[in-house]
Amino acid sequence: MSSDTSLSSLDEPQLRPQRQTRRRRGVPRIRPDFFQTLNENHFKKRFRFSKESVRCIFRKVQRSIPRARIKRSDCISPMLQLLIALRFFGTGSFQAVIGDTANVSKATVCRVIERVTTAIVLLRPQYVYMPIPQQRPSVASRFHDIAGFPRVIGAVDCTHIKINSPGRNRAELYRNRKEDIGYPCLRYLMTPFLNPNTAAQEAYNKAQISTRNTIERCFGVLERRFSCLYSGMQLKLKKVLKVIVACVVLHNMALDLDDCIIDDDELANEDVIEADPQQQLDQNVAVRSSLVQQYFSNV
């Protein structure tokens, strides 16, 4: 027979010693310091700006770029975020490839590009604008020095950028049919003569083409510095628009910083076809005719 003591011990539950669990601490990833690992030439090839220019750009946007927290103990510095975005703008590489270079995930690259792009776009009013009245005489003088075309404060042209089709009803709106109907001749927009028939009109056309060539070269430089504009972007439409504006802002910042990426080669001139020959009877064309008579008749 068992004693009371032995029976009571069998009825009691057997308690196992508690095992202390330690909370695992995250280990921050080691990410490259491109300022230290790349020389000036390799740095500029990858990020399209010199190291000093990147520092200047960073000072302009750093307040709008918070540290990107990936995990509780891991985050990406604002400077590295800027470099990730510049790498995307400058190469148009797949985001996964850029992530491998910076030791971050593709999803993180996507968020970083959007965050940095938004910060740069906020600078647009400072760097992208038409000349104010006080600046117009100086701008017009510089344009006049090109080929003698008077009273010019800007040049207009367009370029095509590859994007993903937005699909559904909007797909046809963004289909590139490579139509070239040109621009209408307006009182404030001077186009070339479709069929010049006098020496004055030919002189006008020559001066107009040489003067507008500035915007054609500008697009060439812009697309060579920021290859994402040339090769296309696998982004949603609203993000593409922001990236385009950001690249234009950065281009103008590069001009202020005297940071040249390539030789400003002459690009081939393209003939512009007028939208409607009937505009010869329109009052807008009268302004062009007046310019021809006043400035090009004695050429």
- pLDDT 10s digits, 36-81: 999 999 999 999 999 999 999 999 999 999 876 665 556 889 999 9
- Identify whether residues 144 and 292 lie together within a single domain: yes
Of 95, 122, 149, which residue constitutes the final position of a domain?
A: 122
- Identify whether residues 267 and 149 lie together within a single domain: yes
Domain presence at residue 15: no
Give the span between the Cα atoms of 59 and 123, in whole angstroms: 12
Q: Residue 20 above 80 pLDDT?
A: no
Output the pLDDT for position 237.
84
- Identify whether residues 137 and 242 lie together within a single domain: yes
**Per-residue pLDDT reduced to its tens digit, 137-170:** 999 999 999 999 999 999 998 888 888 777 777 7
Of 64, 92, 122, which residue constitutes the final position of a domain?
A: 122
Helices (H), 226-236: 228-231
Q: Which domain holds residue 68?
A: 34-122
- Identify whether residues 172 and 271 lie together within a single domain: yes
- Identify whether residues 135 and 219 lie together within a single domain: yes
pTM (2 decimals)?
A: 0.78
- Identify whether residues 101 and 186 lie together within a single domain: no
Output the pLDDT for position 257.
96
- Identify whether residues 116 and 140 lie together within a single domain: no
Domain presence at residue 25: no
User: What would the two tokens of residue 126 be?
Assistant: 């400072």
User: What would the two tokens of residue 247 be?
Assistant: 């690249």
Domain presence at residue 236: yes
Of 98, 122, 146, which residue constitutes the final position of a domain?
A: 122
Q: What average pLDDT does the structure give for the chain?
A: 82
Domain presence at residue 22: no
Domain presence at residue 58: yes
Residue 17 · residue 90 · CB < 8 Å: no
Domain presence at residue 2: no
- Identify whether residues 159 and 215 lie together within a single domain: yes
Report the domain count for the chain: 2
Whole-angstrom CA distances from 122 to 106, 115, 119, 206 are 25, 11, 5, 39
Adjacent-strand bridge partners of 107: none
Assign 233 a pLDDT band (cuts: 50, 70, 90). confident
Domain presence at residue 14: no
Domain presence at residue 21: no
**Per-residue pLDDT reduced to its tens digit, 252-262:** 999 999 998 75
Which 8-state DSSP code applies to residue 69? E
Sequence-distant (6+) residues with CB within 8 A of 127 are: 248, 249, 252, 253, 256
Whole-angstrom CA distances from 12 to 4, 158, 286, 291 are 13, 86, 108, 109
- Identify whether residues 145 and 271 lie together within a single domain: yes
Strands, DSSP E only, in 29-146? Answer: 68-71, 74-76
